[in-house]
Structure 1
């Protein structure tokens, strides 16, 4: 089967069997028994929506906030400039 000997080939057959058997067995266990599937679905919610919060500000409100912050920054810069000049 393999260039390294028959034991390597048996290992590959075993790994392939596990690769094929594991998903089929899990589907048979969880998919065929609705109680198991429901238990898992109730334990872990798949979609969790955030709590209701205030909506985002409109573009006009954002522009107004930016204008206010720029005015405050300009006033602070002017005050610092006046302080440095004296």
Structure 2
């Protein structure tokens, strides 16, 4: 610290203390008050599933579609 100087060294320590303390204090404040936590979680749904699409064709339907495509390609 001798190259930085005593005043700047204290300032760096104070900044580090603020950087560590503020997020920890905010986290503690939000987590301990369950009403606030539920309110924050209610703003945005975390998991939203899209609507269900049509089911894929069965193997028999796929075989029939392949036969139709083969017939069309032979006729061309």
State the TM bucket, normalised to the shorter chain.
0.5 to 0.7
Q: Which residue of 2 aligns with 1:3?
A: 3
SS state of the match for residue 18, structure 1? helix
Q: Flag the 1:4–1:50 CA change in 2: closer, same or farther, 3 A.
A: same
TM-score (norm 2): 0.65
Q: Which residue of 1 aligns with 2:43?
A: 43
Q: Which residue of 2 aligns with 1:55?
A: 55
Q: Are the equivalent residues in 2 in contact too, given 1:2–1:8 (CA < 8 A)? A: no
Note the alpha carbon deviations across 1:21-57, whole angstroms, 9 max, x for none. Answer: 0222112210111110000011111111111211344
Rounded Cα–Cα distance in structure 1 between residues aligned with 2:55 and 2:19: 49
- Runs (4 or more) in structure 1 with deviation over 2 Å come to 55-61
Q: Cα RMSD between the aligned structures?
A: 3.2
Equivalenced residue count is 72
Name structure 2 gaps, 5 residues minimum. none
